[in-house]
Every structure is written in structure tokens, then in C-alpha cells.
Structure 1
Amino acid sequence: MKVFRGIPNAEARSPCALAIGNFDGVHRGHQALLANVRAAATRLGLDAAVMTFEPHPREFFAQLAGTPSRAPTRIANLRDKLQSLAKAGADRVIVEHFSTHFAALSPQEFIEKILVQGLHVKWLMVGEDFRYGARRAGDIAMLVEAGARYGFQVETLPAVMNGAVRISSSEVRSALLEGNFSHAAELLGHPYTISGHVVHGQKLGRSIGFPTLNLRVAHKHPALAGIFVVQVHGLAERPLPGVASIGVRPTVDDSGRVLLETHVFDYAEHSYGKLIRVEFLKKLRDEEKFIDLPTLTAAIAQDAEQARAYFGQSTGAAITATDRI
């Protein structure tokens, strides 16, 4: 799969079947849409292409309005999104920078400059509620009319349901916020995970007997915050049990940077630079600011004890890895 930051140059363009959307989480509704695009691309001899946006348009407008707290929480980082799109059969992904200029395109400019001239679309599938162009003025009827004029077919996908619930990114976010990981997995079609490369940290966890594997969280509003029972993929043949914290670490850091810290039980191998996936199983509590380091250490010990109980383990000796925090 090829990934382009913005519209590909002329040499990299070829006719395509296209899906457009934010695809946050690439849930089962997204997967159904992408399966249709893949099938159409194969049938018509086209590339299967996906256009997505960075930042999320709602995040962009929240920042523009000076209300960043109204930005939607992010289900997936860009790496995980791209991996899911590749798994769904995309040949190329256009990650379009959502900017003031892009947001100001009229519906007609979006069709002509982006779909026709920029991407050479021959077959297009979007959700039934798809809107585009400045002030979301473009609708499906305008797309169908433009398709007849410019030579591309437009298809829409009805809502995909999970029982009586419409599968959507908002529904996934709600499930994660509630710590309902079984419901989130039903909507996503797989357990919820966050991936990343292990990075160096302050070495604080190691000094108090709870060394951690640290992953940077690029976006400021992740869908999760708090302390969780997890298992980690990518360190051994089988996933390894642990306890994780995702948040801004208010007791020891005032930078506001979001970090995912995972304490893996009874694991002492070198890990810096490794690409791992942290799978979330149960929420234990919200993130808290403690009065001092001993109080924080006691809380971490209790979290670890609860996580070990979840896995049916007895409390083990502290890990003494030298390459983790």
C-alpha cells in the first residue's frame, strides 16, 4: 500500500475506486464500506484508494474556534489507522492535511480539483450522511450529478448495525470511555489496541520498582485515560500481562504530554525501539494526582495487584530491567 501526504503528483495518479472519510478506528461500518471499494476496484481494474484527513476536521474547527476541549477524542493513531486500511485491501491512501484552504473549497471545487483532477476517481463510495465542501454544503445528490457529468459512479452505504445500535466512531468512543471493551470489540471487529515504538522516559518507574514500556501518544485527546489491565503483543510469542496508564501523569509531569506507560509483569528483556501493541482488557480507575511519590507508588502497587488478580497470578518480585523507566 502506498501512502501519500496530500494529492499525489501527476506521475503517481491513476484511475481509482475511492472511499472518503475520517476512518477513526476503522470499525465494522468502515470495513463494510472498504470491502465494497475493494470489490469494485477489482471488478473495474482500478486501484482501491482511500482519502482520510489529518487533523480530524472536527478537531481543526475546535482549535480554530478556540475550544480545543470540544475536539473529538481519537480512537486510533495514524499508524494503526493505516495498518487497518492496508488490511482492508487499500492500494493507496491519501492523508489530506485538513487546513483553512481545504475547508474553504466549495463543493464544486472539491469535486473538480480533488476528485476529478487530483485523484481521477471512476467509482466512489461514501456513507449516507456524507457532506463535503465549505460549510458542508455538498450532498449526495450533487455528487451523483457531478458523477454523470465527469464520468464517475457514486454509491452510498447504509448504516451498518450491531443489533439495534448503529456502528459509528462515536459509539466506539462511548464504549471506550465507559471501559466497555467487549462492546468496543464488537463494534471494531477486534480487541482495542494502541501500537507504537518503545521510547525512553524519565526512569522514574524503574526507581520505584515498576519499570514501564513507554509509547508516545501523538494526539492530545485519546479515547482512553486512566489505569487499565492490559496485555502486550510483540515482546514474546504470546501476549504478556501487565497494567498500563494512559494520560498526562499529573503527579510527576506538568507538560501536558500524553503518554502510555505499561508495566509488564515479570519481563526484563531489552525493549527500546520495539514496535508493540497494547491491548486493553479492563479499566481499573481514572488517572489521579497524588500528594507525593510514596502515595503514587502505593497506588501503582494496588493497581498491579488488581491486574495480577485479573490474570489469576500471584504477586511476583519486582522487575529489575535496566532499559525501561
Structure 2
Amino acid sequence: MKIFHGTENANIQKPTVLTLGVFDGLHLGHQRIMQTVVERGKAVEAVATAITFDPHPRAVLHPESAPPLLQTLDQRLANLEVLGIEQTIVIAFDREFAQKPAEGFVREILHERLQVKEVHLGKDFAFGRGRGGNIELLRRMSGELGFYAEEVPEVRLRGHRISSSKIRQLLSEGKINVARRMLGRPYGVEGVIERGAQRGRTIGFPTANLRPHNRVIPKFGVYATATLVEGTWRRSITNIGIRPTFEKDAEPSIESYIFDFDGDLYGDVLRVRFLHRIRDEHKFTGIDELRAQIERDTDQARNYFRRPGVKNMLEIL
């Protein structure tokens, strides 16, 4: 996939079919949009293109209410490529861009620079000054400029609208199974492995201590997880919390015990996906009680991984 930072850097040599949006999380609703763009691009012999914004527009215009993002920009771009998008244009969103009239953006960028044949928007998405760039504007201008504009129907799960904000809420409540169904995949984080206090190793459960790049972290507790090690998704359990048995006022940490693995991962970038919530985080009276609980957690996780559907999921992650 080609990636252009800014429309002025985009070397567009063929007409495009495109969509615009932040696309945080690339959930099932976003995936339907990308599927539409990819299919229509093939049908009209145009390049399937996504325009995305970084940072989130609300972080610039209303920083006090800006949401933490489910994905880093690199994760978003990687997922767009997986979904079949051929080129992505990343627009650096700032106050100057926010004041650009939508009509000018459509005429100068979409029509003249990107040679757009079709535009497919998610429901209620708007861009430009005063959010004037909506599906109605695109339809009005399409006749003059010779492109087609359509709104992609939203995706619902059991009657509920799928949205990035809803997924953030579910993760904060520890409801990772529902979040997974909305995302179409398990929620994951990635980050650098740092050297910790190595208490896990002394009690027989060495853990990889992850400093996450992602800002959205599931609710404190213990989870059955899949951890990507040397290109293979391995079974693991992961604790998110503040280690209340040992420390007071500690920074939240993510610690993963990878089953049947004893390699050195310090300094590596690791990816962890959350599959099943086992329990809340607890404070224990000491090492022995903690070790016994970890053994129970491990047994529970191993039983979870024996389920046929879970085993198949690990093979295709």
C-alpha cells in the first residue's frame, strides 16, 4: 500500500474511488466502507483510496473531550492495507485545515488532485468548515464534477450501532467479547518489553512487561490472551493493573506470562490480543497466595484455549 502524508505529496497517476474518515479501530462498520471502496475500485478500474486524519479532529478543536484512540496511526495504516486499500493519504489535521471550506476541498483535492470517480462515506461523517462536507454536499457537486457519491449503510450488532466510542466503553468495562464482535477481531495492544522487578520469574511465572503504545487499555484484571512471539501467536495470560500485592500507587502495567516459552524478549516490540476475561485484579496476602492464584488462572486459561473455536481462532489471528 502506498502512504502519502498530505495531499500535496500524493503522486496520483490514476483515478480513485475513495472514502474519508478517522477510522479509529477499523471496526465492522469501517470494514464495510473499505470493502465497498475496494470492490468499486475494481469495478471502475480506479485506485481504492482512504483519506484519514491525524491527530483526531476533536483533539485539535475540543481537546478537553478528545477520545483516546483505539489504534496508533501505524496500526491503522497496517489494517487498511489488510483490508485491501491500495493507497492512504494521511492529512495532518490542524485549525487551518479545519477552516477550509468543504466545497474547496471537494473541488481542489478530490476532483482535481485525486481524480475521484466515486466517494463512499460512513453514516453522518462530515468534514470541512462547519462540518459542511457531508453526503448531501457531495451529491450536489457530483453532477457538476462528474463523480458518484453514496453513503454506506451502518453496521449494527444485535440492534446496537457499532462505533469506536462504544468499543472504548466496552473495553473500559472489561467486556472484551462484545468489543471483539464489534471489531471483527480481538482487541490488541502493542509496545516495548521492559525489564521489571522479575518477581514472576522467582515464583515460576516469568512475565513480559509491556509498555503499551496504545492509549486504550482494557479494565484492570486477568485475561486469556494471544501474544505474537517471533511471528507466531502463542497462548498467554495477561494481568493489567497496579500490582497491589507488592506496590502502592504504582503505575498501571501490562504483564504477560507466555505459556511454554522461556526466551529473552527485552527490548522487543510485542503484540497482545485479549481473548477472554478471567477475573478482576486482587490484592493477596503474600507470594504463596499469589502463586496459587496464578496457577488457577493458568489452568482456567488452558481450559479456555482447548475449546475448538478458540484453537481455530489462534491459528488464523
- The residue that corresponds to 1:270 in the other structure is 264
1:238-289 CA-partner distances (Å, limit 9, x unpaired)? 52212232689995767xxx76443334532122454532111216336x9x
SS at match of 1:36: helix
Distance 2:19 2:180 in 1: 23
Identify if the C-alpha distance between structure 1 residues 307 and 13 changes in structure 2 by more than 3 Å, giving closer, same or farther.
farther
Pairing partner for 1:310 from 297, 300, 304: 300
State the identity as a percent.
29
- Between the aligned partners of 2:60 and 2:268, the Cα distance in structure 1 is 32
Find the counterpart in structure 2 of residue 141 from structure 1.
Answer: 136
Instruction: In structure 1, list runs of 5 or more residues that go unmatched.
Output: 314-325
Give the match for residue 170 of structure 1: 165
**Secondary structure of 2:7's match?**
coil
Q: Structure 1's 79 and 25: CA in aligned 2 closer, same or farther, altered over 3 A?
A: same
Alignment of 1:139-288 (within 5 A): 139-196=134-191, 198-199=192-193, 201-205=194-198, 209=202, 211-218=206-213, 221-235=215-229, 237-245=232-240, 251=248, 260-272=254-266, 274-280=268-274, 281-282=276-277, 284-285=279-280
1:119-141, CA deviations, whole angstroms, 9 ceiling, x for partnerless residues?
33221100231211122133221
Give the match's secondary structure for 1:81. Answer: helix
Quote the residue 2:127 is aligned against: 132
**Residue identity in the other structure for 1:54:** D
Count residues with an aligned counterpart.
297
Between the aligned partners of 2:144 and 2:293, the Cα distance in structure 1 is: 61
Whole-Å Cα distance in 1 between the matches of residues 125 and 212 of structure 2?
29
> Conserved in 1, the CA contact under 8 Å of 2:195 and 2:266?
no
Task: State the Cα distance separating 1:114 from its structure 2 match.
Answer: 2.9
**Matched residue, 2:27:** 27
When normalised by structure 2's length, the TM-score is 0.80
Unaligned 5+ segments in structure 2 are 304-317
CA, structure 1 residues 246+72, in 2 after alignment: closer, same or farther (shift >3 Å)? farther
CA distance change for structure 1 residues 129 and 300 in 2, over 3 Å: closer, same or farther? farther
CA distance in 1, matches of 2:116, 2:174: 40
CA distance in structure 2 between the partners assigned to 1:27 and 1:248 by the alignment: 32
Specify the SS of the correspondent of 1:124: strand
The Cα of 1:103 is off from its aligned counterpart by 1.2
8 Å contact from structure 1 (residues 229, 284) kept in 2: yes
RMSD of aligned alpha carbons: 3.2
Please name the residue that 2:118 is paired with: 123
Query: Residues 67-78 of structure 1 correspond to what in structure 2 (within 5 A)?
Result: 67=64, 70-78=65-73
**Cα gap change, 1:207 to 1:214, in 2 (>3 Å):** closer
Q: 2-side partners of 1:283 and 1:94: how far apart?
A: 40
